[in-house]
Structure 1
Amino acid sequence: MASLVPRRDIVLAWDGSPELVIETVEVVQCRFEEVTEAMALAEGENDDLEGWRKDHRDYFERNGGFSSEMQLLWERFVLLEDLAPKG
């Protein structure tokens, strides 16, 4: 398998135009139950690990199934450039 780190990607806006350049700096493969509070909080969507677990469990159940043993790929990235038009 090719290395996922470092990797640069262009994030597209809803209309398909380039909006951001990001660089993946870390990829972790782990089971759902192994996600740490630091990983969950880094996502920026929840205030604690339990909220992250509930929201993600609900998402996976709506979209095909959930298991606490399921494998996840967790990606940390940094913003390199904002390409969105200014003004």
Structure 2
Amino acid sequence: PRGSVLYSLGVSVKMNLFLFAPGIFFVWMTVLGPYRTLFHIAVCGLVQVLLGWPFLTTYPESYVAKAFELSRVFTYKWTVNLKFLPEDIFVDKRLGWLL
């Protein structure tokens, strides 16, 4: 599970590593099977809980609200990958929630 721990640590630092999750899941299922895959997913979850524990025990509502800020609106001028979208769609709160 060393790789799972390292992956989860990476996700805790840079959320875009989470985009690799479907590929990692596919490899785990192919190589490890469903039971060992669940174990590795649990390891990743445990790492996230352990890292967040000091914040979850001190200010749980604030921590969760900011960690999953679903009301967030992105700034159109800084986008690179989604420039093909019209600005009115890009700044819509529903797009932020979907992403």
TM-score, normalised on structure 2?
0.25
TM-score, normalised on structure 1?
0.27
Name the one with the larger helix percent: 2
Flag the structure with more relative contact order, 1 or 2, with Cα contacts below 8 A and sequence separation at least 6: 1
Name the one with the larger strand percent: 1
